[in-house]
Structure 1
Amino acid sequence: MRQDKLRLIDLFSGAGGMTLGFTDERFCGGFECVLSVDNDSAAMDTHKAAYAAPGVVGNIETWLESDPDVPQADIVIGGPPCQGFSLLNKNRQGDGRRALWEPYMDVVALSGAKMFVMENVPELLRSGEFDDIAKRAQKMGFSLIYDVVNAADYGAAQTRKRAIVIGWKRGETEAPTLPQQTHSKDGANGLPRWRVVREVIGELPDPEGVEIRDCRPPLNLHFGRSPTEVSLARYRAVPIGGNRFDLQRNAPEITPACWIRKTSGGTDLFGRLWWDRPSVTIRTEFFKPEKGRYLHPEKHRPITHREAARIMGFPDDFPFRGSKVEIARQIGNAVPPPLAAAIAKVALKALSANLMIEAA
């Protein structure tokens, strides 16, 4: 077997949470990133700082129209923007982002990759676009396996469900399997229990300031906000494990009128995380409690950027670049590195088996 690492292209890469799971020896290793593409310039600054890999900042379709020299790769990874499939997008019919799987597959073809991994929201697998993806993959000689997985089953302290599609070139690489769980909710089958919020943020001190700090990790991203007196009063009105309905019961006079009128749904809004459970899905505006269950388990504040990054599974030394909002977007849009690592391990096994046969 050759000793150099397998070559990886990361499309719609963001900050590179998926690349981290594939390339960092603390997760999987065995891969090196030879190209990344994303239209978020701050995220690409982070990706470059983390991997020193060539990167393209811009629209993938425009880039392909320029007839670029696409490097040869063993695997292409990435998730075409998911807003077009997301249930959060009620008007997703006709959303142009639904078609971004097409340039993704173009790069798979141009790079000569023997395998690809596509990550997206669970709704992808129930969409007409997925049927089109499967047909295109089959024409290109790829077989597919796919499923919806939960990041908590792979060591992230977060119950984030995602669709994973793995394609492999028939006759050119061993068939991969879907990643095996490394953790379980109840410790079944001898596996460790899901990681919980206390495990990953419990020892952090109180945050300081309201800006990114000029100090060593983890405290550089462990800063707070400047809440109004009304916001502080709302935080205090939410008990351990509570949410917006507790706020309404305890302090109706400071509860937003729209929440009072809406008597159902939204049970995570203005909710507190639980110490002894994984977090809910971390999204790009985790610093706003009105967007979800993002209040600290017991402190009267939302979670910090560092706490969100740890819940995602990023190590403290990951070199995020950009403003507060830009870094929050990078964290919320990322694939949790522990989940990426589980996928990377099955990809590495399948691709390496083929290389061993060639070496023999």
Structure 2
Amino acid sequence: MTVPKVIKHKAIDFFCGAGGMTNGFRKAGIDVIAGIDFDPECKKTYETNNIGSQFILADIKKLSFSEFTQRTKVKRNDANLIFIGCSPCQYWSKIATDKKKSEESKNLLNDFMRFVDYYNPGTVVIENVPGILTKKQESPLNDFFIFLDSKGFRYDKRIINAAHYGVPQSRKRFLLIATRVAPTVKLPAPLIGNLPVVADFIGPDKGFPVLAAGAVDSSINLHATAALSETNLLRIRMTPADGGTRMVYVDDKHLAIPSQFEKKTTFSDTYGRMRWNKPAPTITTKFVSLSNGRFGHPEQDRALSLREGAALQTFDASYQFHGTALRSIARQIGNAVPPLLAKQIAMTIIDQLS
């Protein structure tokens, strides 16, 4: 008779979004009790793909401990409980954003800290953009370190690159694992061997049929692309395959972006193509747009499809995304923690706590 596997560790995924971190932790064997997010568009995506992990639609700034306890059934001071906090990072991103619009996300780490303080879980995980560490004067992170010290947590932290953990993108992130129940704690060790590249995950030989801009291939879930204007079609057609950039038409008044005409030293990645044999750039929430980075397909005349972006984020082909529009789904995909990275974080925690 097979003895059922007992799941010792359990987690709550704060700011869970579409469920990338939840999915990776579940694959490692951790019981993710719930994901919490205030974006209603993520609810169906999260629940469809993570059956057994409930989605709590709530703003943690307003979520009471009594409601949280009632919904999750977690107890205070549980050594086997893991709190994951991957708060929205627009304010700390190096990508140009409307800082006034993203101001509300600036101090979400403090709201997460309130829950850590009250429930005192055994382990805490933080993942965010590097800016939350490097912008020291503005960041709440230093206060969080002081808080962890006061609570008796040991922690390891640094800027990591997801490309060193099997994710085919140059995706730098601040990562912290803290624990009060293990004598030592270390972040996952980088994988040994060649870095994963774009060709390992997308392309016709990986099951992605050739697709035109603005088209949908019904044989592949969400293999759909954004339409391009005639001018942008001309731009991408002129851009050399496998890593070409806008420099090929930088001196052409009719094709160059007016603000970039004859400028060869700035924003060289915009309107560029990815390279087959290198990791992709960071998959952002706007990866379906040529004008927002090096998101051109290596050889087809279009930007990435939704499913290609999800593949480069290491979501399984069966992972279903739900949303009201192409760009809303792209936002869910780009905001997610790559499940493969999440799984390695979870496995490291299990190893260190066993």
TM over 0.5: yes
Equivalent of residue 81 in structure 2, options 74, 81, 99: 74
1:134-161 Cα offsets, whole Å, 9 max, x none, are 0112222212210111111000111100
Number of the residue aligned with 2:267: 266
Write the distance in 2 (CA, Å) between the matches of 1:252 and 1:277. 31
* Distance of 2:109 and 2:292 partners within structure 1: 29
Residue 98 (str. 1) matches residue 106 (str. 2): yes
- CA deviations over 1:178-211 (Å, ceiling 9, x no partner): 11111xxxxxxxx320111111102221137847
Partner of 2:158: 147
Q: Does 1:59 align with 2:59?
A: yes
**Structure-2 change in CA distance of 1:88 and 1:228 (3 Å):** closer
How far off is 1:316 after superposition? 0.3
Question: What is aligned with 2:124?
Answer: 116
Any conservation in 1 of the 2:285–2:335 contact (CA below 8 Å)? yes
Question: Relative to structure 1, is the Cα distance of residues 252 and 317 closer, same or farther in structure 2, using a 3 angstrom cutoff?
Answer: same
* Structure 1 range deviating more: 304-313 or 260-269: 260-269
| Matches of 2:10 and 2:21, distance apart in 1 | 14
Give ranges in structure 2 of 5+ residues lacking alignment: 75-79
**CA separation of 1:118 and 1:212: change in aligned 2, threshold 3 A:** farther
Matches within 5 A, 1:155-166: 155-166=166-177
Work out whether residues 18 and 78 of structure 1, in 8 Å CA contact, stay in contact via their aligned partners in 2: no
AA of the residue aligned to 1:149: I
Q: CA deviation at 1:4?
A: 2.4
Cα gap change, 1:145/1:92 in structure 2, threshold over 3 Å: closer, same or farther?
farther
* Paired residue secondary structure (2:283): coil
1:208/1:287 Cα in 2 relative to 1: closer, same or farther (>3 Å)? Answer: same
Encode CA deviations 1:47-90: one digit per residue, 9 max, x unaligned: 11111322221311112377532532610113111122222357
Moved more, 206-215 or 235-244: 206-215
Checking the alignment, whether the CA contact within 8 Å between 1:212 and 1:220 is kept in structure 2 is no
Regions of 4+ moved over 3 Å: 65-68, 89-94, 109-112, 208-215
Provide the C-alpha distance between the structure 2 equivalents of 1:87 and 1:302, rounded to a whole number of angstroms: 22
CA distance in 2, matches of 1:333, 1:197: 19
Q: Would the aligned equivalents of 1:151 and 1:338 in 2 still touch at CA under 8 Å?
A: no
Q: Is the 8 A contact 1:208 1:222 kept in 2?
A: no
- Distance in 2 between residues matched to 1:113 and 1:66, nearest whole Å: 16
- Residue 35 of structure 1 and its aligned partner are, at CA, apart by 1.4
For 1:11-62, what per-residue CA distance to the aligned partner results, in whole angstroms no more than 9, with x for missing partners? Answer: 01111111111112xxxx2201111111111112211111132222131111
Verify the 8 A CA contact 2:49 2:320 in the aligned structure 1.
Answer: yes
1:216-252 deviations in whole A, cap 9, x for unaligned? xxx1211233322222111111112221222324x43
Between the aligned partners of 2:104 and 2:304, the Cα distance in structure 1 is: 33
- Partner of 1:357 in structure 2? none
TM-score, structure 2 length as denominator?
0.87
| Contact 2:250-2:262 within 8 A present in 1 as well | no
CA distance in 2, matches of 1:229, 1:208: 13
Q: Which amino acid aligns with 1:8?
A: A
Q: In structure 2, do the counterparts of structure 1 residues 300 and 210 end up closer, same or farther at CA, with 3 Å as the change threshold?
A: closer
- How many angstroms does 1:333 deviate by? 0.5
Partner residue, 2:77: none
Residue 213 of structure 1: CA displacement?
Answer: 6.3
* C-alpha RMSD of the superposition: 2.3
Does the Cα contact within 8 Å between 1:71 and 1:111 map onto a contact in 2? no
TM-score normalised by structure 1 residue count? 0.86
Q: Which moved more, 1:10-19 or 1:257-266?
A: 257-266
Q: Which runs of 5 or more structure 1 residues have no equivalent in the other structure?
A: 183-190, 354-360
2:37 alignment partner AA: D
Partner of 2:33: 34
Q: What is the alpha-carbon distance in structure 2 between the residues aligned to residue 285 and residue 78 of structure 1? A: 23
Candidates 181, 188, 206, aligned match of 1:179: 188
Bigger fraction of residues in helix: 1
> Residue type matched to 2:83 in 1?
V
